[in-house]
Amino acid sequence: MGNSNLYKGSLTTIILKLLNENDKMYGYEITQKVKELTKGELKITEGALYPSLHKLEADGLLDVEVMKVDNRLRKYYKLTPDGTKETAVKLADLETYIKTMQALVTPKLRFD
């Protein structure tokens, strides 16, 4: 995903959070929204996004609704009740991660 490998493992969190805010979104819309919200810092690739959406659906966290808009296909995803629960879990995990990393990293830097 991002320019740094730190983003590995955060895609699911990002998808769930966006769907928690936006009720229903389709894949391409997610890529654009992420680009916009991060001012271009994070660009989600389709090769990562679509398999991830499929897995979330298979795991029962997302529901799909296929629509045709302007003669183009769209697959709208929305959270299931389990998906909403999992969103809270993932966001708590992210907070813990950030606090833990800050505990490890916050101390003074040295330049010898």
By CB under 8 A, the residues from 30 to 59 that bind its own copies are 34, 37-38, 41-42
- What is the CB neighbour count within 10 angstroms for residue 20? 17
Measured CA to CA, the distance from residue 57 to residue 1 in angstroms comes to 21
Q: How far is the CB of 80 from DNA (least distance, A)?
A: 17
Between 28 and 97, CB nearer to DNA: 28
At residue 81, what is the residue type?
Answer: P
Read off the tokens for 85.
Answer: 């629960």
Residue (5 or 71) nearer to its own copies, CB: 5
Do β-strands 62-69 and 25-26 pair in parallel, antiparallel, or remain unpaired? unpaired
98 counts as binding its own copies under rule CB under 8 A:
yes
Question: What does DSSP assign to residue 41?
Answer: S
Site membership for DNA, residue 97 (CB under 7 A): no
Quick one: which segment of 45-53, 57-65, 66-74, 96-104 binds its own copies (CB under 8 A)?
96-104
